[in-house]
Structure 1
């Protein structure tokens, strides 16, 4: 695990964390809000490691060498607790009661703080959130709870109001490209493609750089988008079946479609090609911009977000994709 100095972007959040740690002004609860791959877990882990470090730098960065840091880096620091859940899309009230509420009354084993990191906190049921709320309202002095979310609005207002909110912003493209080329040794042309699709999300850029299937997924999506007007319902169904082969990376497939239609929207509104990601598909982008109305494009972008939410909620995959592709075809 790197230190804060090695993190790309998020400088304001890192400065805030360093000041809180060095001034001994750590709050009892935080929300780290950002899209998948934005760096929430990395920052939460570094924050926890810094809090527990036995020999911190003057700027608040963990030393990386003391016993606590070594334990944190191996995932075995006894006072950094990562809350888990058995059900893939739900954090239940029992998960919170057993792993947080019942445990938090026990004093730290070897550190000043006892830190609870709840990833995917927006998956907590209302009952789970209410159980956590009681702890956040009257926490022990040594307790720090970090809620990692893609959608902080899914949390109860009473929880949001009692936490310090940290919103992770997109990272500048040139910083993402520099990291891919210098740290991962990704060639220039491939780095450009990854950066264009990552849209400022470092985690996504890294994932795309390592993905064996990204080009296949992109080509499949582009073929569909170029030909969907002429495709029959059986052909659309066949396209859905091909999507099934990418089920584990379906969000990337949907993101590619979303980026295509954002390109269409940008070109329709500005007639400029400067900000278009699919610059090699301008003939088709222009054609779609001419055919689709603003309302139609917005309908498609809304349908993509609904499809993601439904897939996350385990709605039938083929049904979700058929509804989505019909909406795309109609608009």
Structure 2
């Protein structure tokens, strides 16, 4: 596990947490809010390790008995809340693992730290059960609520916690991380960065995912050939795309990045700003066959398709209409 110095981005949050530790003003309850993969868990783990570190600094030493326990996931005073139901954290989960447990003093650390992933999954009863502990905590208690969607938490919880919202990390930092730590080639890093939109966790997942490469290859085949495809070919492509239903948003995002490249290059002729630099010949050919209005229609159609799929509109019908729209707007 890295220390704060190795965390990419989130400088303001790191500064806040370090300052709180240095001044002895650590809050009893924090909400770390941000989309999945943005770094909430890493920040919480490093914060917890640092609080328990026997050296008492603003970075974990990584070598004391407490840090070794924290890094192995076996620290008795760093508790990660577990729940059996995948989409719900029950009142019993909260009572057994936090409310009742917090009455027992720390075994060895200065603090007793509770980390709650997916905190927005707590039922209203679970949140209300936690509220009293947050309002009147023992001096040694620190509760870290990690939420993809903090607005799903009760106002009473929100008002009693320090809110730390994780923002997207700059693209150049995400790319540097992929190239240095995941050994991703320059071109592949650009594609992953474009998709990740400042989310390092998602960028790493994409860079190391075999399914993402399959999606990319399938999408590129469509993008290069859609103007020549007949309706039967489009229906066949729909069936092949249906294999990626779980990742269909990534598939549509891939198409959108391609057409943004087309629009950008048509307007600027600047190949340095392209994501798909190695497809320059295909992009050049397509801009000569496309109007600005046609490309913008396609981009709107992609957003419409995402909205329909989120609303559970029929998958095959949505994709067929999308591919026909793309074909109609390419000269």
TM over 0.5: yes
2:175 aligned with 1:177: yes
CA distance in 1, matches of 2:73, 2:143: 17
CA distance in 2, matches of 1:158, 1:265: 48
Aligned-pair CA distance for 1:117? 0.8
- Counterpart of 1:6 in structure 2 is 6
CA distance in 1, matches of 2:161, 2:232: 49
Deviations 1:109-146 (A, max 9, x none): 11111111111112222232222223222222211111
SS in 1 for 2:31: strand
- 1:74-89 alignment runs, 5 A limit: 74-89=72-87
CA distance in 2, matches of 1:305, 1:96: 35
Assess if the C-alpha contact under 8 Å between 1:300 and 1:327 holds in 2: no
- TM-score calculated relative to the size of structure 1: 0.80
CA distance in 2, matches of 1:24, 1:105: 22
CA distance in 2, matches of 1:109, 1:222: 56
- 1:132-281 alignment runs, 5 A limit: 132-223=130-221, 227=226, 241-243=239-241, 245-246=243-244, 249-250=247-248, 252-257=250-255, 259=257, 263=260, 271=267, 277=275, 280=279
- Counterpart of 2:70 in structure 1 is 72
Distance change >3 Å, CA 45–CA 172, structure 1 → 2: same
SS in 1 for 2:108: coil
Q: 1:325 aligns with which of 319, 322, 328?
A: 319
Aligned-pair CA distance for 1:239? 5.1
- Counterpart of 2:37 in structure 1 is 37
SS in 2 for 1:144: strand
CA distance in 1, matches of 2:308, 2:158: 24
CA distance in 2, matches of 1:54, 1:243: 53
Deviations 1:46-94 (A, max 9, x none): 000011111133xx00111111100000000011111112222222222
CA distance in 2, matches of 1:129, 1:198: 31
Assess if the C-alpha contact under 8 Å between 1:264 and 1:289 holds in 2: no
- 1:84-99 alignment runs, 5 A limit: 84-99=82-97
- Counterpart of 2:49 in structure 1 is 49
Which has the larger Rg? Answer: 2
Distance change >3 Å, CA 63–CA 273, structure 1 → 2: farther
CA distance in 2, matches of 1:167, 1:289: 37
Aligned-pair CA distance for 1:231? 7.5
Assess if the C-alpha contact under 8 Å between 1:229 and 1:329 holds in 2: no
**How many pairs were matched up?**
317
Distance change >3 Å, CA 180–CA 74, structure 1 → 2: same
